[in-house]
């Protein structure tokens, strides 16, 4: 049996907050170097358009790095942070409007041994994929995967029929964006309530 790969129509929705919640419970799949890994998305953060001061594309700032955010939804946006960590984002919305959703936490499903190897860990632990830098490394993603189509065969997201009811979604302020002034408090971080695979609270 095969699962439904999310298609272009899903990603091009302009309802970024709705999309960020829809992604909870969906399954992120990567197939890099012939090794397949999958993980259920348990935590996301929305970065909404040119008005969002927390976004790299605030005030329509368009550079070599951020230009992929201005593309039509359905692409990956992966960048290096602090010189060390890769961040995996999903570009959403229509062309010309820089919306993106950062995937902050997944629950490992398949290919756990591969993930352990990439993270140089011996045993399964929550820190395997809890946090944006961790999960990108575990899933084998790096800057070379920036701008890839999420409807291709390297990285994509599947709907395996998991529905997360609204009451099990926890909305809270985003993390690590203390420079974003009035946008610091926007509750645009979404988690599945009770999941131990979400990133550590700060």
Partner DNA sequence: GTGCGGATGAACT
Partner DNA sequence: GTTCATCCGCACT
Instruction: Give dist(CA 88, CA 11) in Å, integer.
Output: 15
d(CA 154, CA 134) in angstroms, rounded, equals 19
* Class of residue 158 by CB neighbours under 10 A (exposed 0-12, middle 13-18, buried 19+): middle
Q: Does the protein bind DNA through residue 124 (CB under 7 A)? A: no
Task: Say how far apart CA 154 and CA 162 lie, in whole Å.
Answer: 22
**DSSP H or E run through 137:** helix 132-138
Under rule CB under 7 A, residue 134 binds DNA: yes
- Of residues 26 and 104, the one with the C-beta less far from DNA: 104
Which of 73, 101, 105, 64 has its CA nearest to residue 201?
105
3 or 126: CB nearest DNA: 126
Sole window of 5-13, 18-26, 56-64, 107-115 interacting with DNA (rule: CB under 7 A) = 56-64
Q: What phi and psi, each to the nearest 5 degrees, are found at residue 77? A: -130, 110
Which of 118, 131, 157, 188 forms a contact with DNA (CB under 7 A)? 131
User: With binding defined as CB under 7 A, does residue 63 bind DNA?
Assistant: yes
82 belongs to the binding site for DNA (CB under 7 A): yes
Q: From 3-11, 31-39, 110-118, 168-176, give the range in contact with DNA by CB under 7 A.
A: 168-176
Q: Which of 9, 33, 64, 122 binds DNA (CB under 7 A)?
A: 64
Q: Which is nearer to DNA, 64 or 166 (CB)?
A: 64
184 binds DNA (CB under 7 A): no
CB of 154 to DNA, least distance (A): 19
> Does residue 81 touch DNA according to CB under 7 A?
yes
Whether residue 103 contacts residue 28, with contact meaning beta carbons closer than 8 Å, is answered with yes
Q: Which is nearer to DNA, 5 or 56 (CB)?
A: 56
Contact status: 54 vs DNA (CB under 7 A)? yes
Distance CA 119, CA 114 (A): 9
Tell me which of 20, 41, 100, 148 binds DNA, using CB under 7 A: 100
CA separation for the pair 115, 124 (Å, rounded): 9
Q: How far is 115 from 110, CA to CA, in rounded Å?
A: 9
Is the Cβ–Cβ distance between 173 and 187 less than 8 Å? Answer: yes
Binding site for DNA (CB under 7 A): 45, 47, 54-57, 61, 63-66, 69, 77, 79-85, 87, 89, 100, 102, 119, 127, 130-134, 143, 174-177, 179, 199-200
């Amino acid at each position: 049996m095969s699962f439904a790969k999310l298609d272009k129509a899903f990603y091009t929705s302009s309802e970024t907050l709705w999309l960020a919640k829809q992604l909870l419970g969906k399954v992120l799949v990567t197939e890099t170097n012939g090794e397949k890994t999958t993980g259920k998305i348990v935590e996301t953060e929305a970065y909404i358009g040119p008005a969002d001061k927390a976004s790299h594309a605030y005030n329509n700032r368009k550079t070599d790095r951020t230009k992929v955010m201005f593309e039509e939804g359905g692409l990956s946006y992966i960048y290096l942070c602090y010189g060390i960590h890769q961040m995996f984002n999903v570009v959403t919305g229509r062309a010309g409007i820089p919306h993106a959703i950062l995937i902050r936490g997944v629950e490992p499903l398949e290919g756990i041994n591969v993930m352990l190897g990439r993270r140089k860990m011996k045993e399964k632990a929550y820190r395997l994929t809890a946090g944006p830098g961790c999960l990108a490394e575990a899933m084998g993603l790096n800057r070379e995967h920036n701008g890839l189509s999420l409807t291709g065969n390297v990285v994509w997201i599947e709907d395996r029929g998991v529905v997360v009811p609204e009451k099990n979604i926890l909305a809270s302020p985003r993390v690590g964006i203390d420079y974003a002034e009035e946008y610091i408090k926007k509750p645009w971080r979404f988690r599945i309530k009770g999941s131990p695979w979400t990133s550590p609270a700060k």
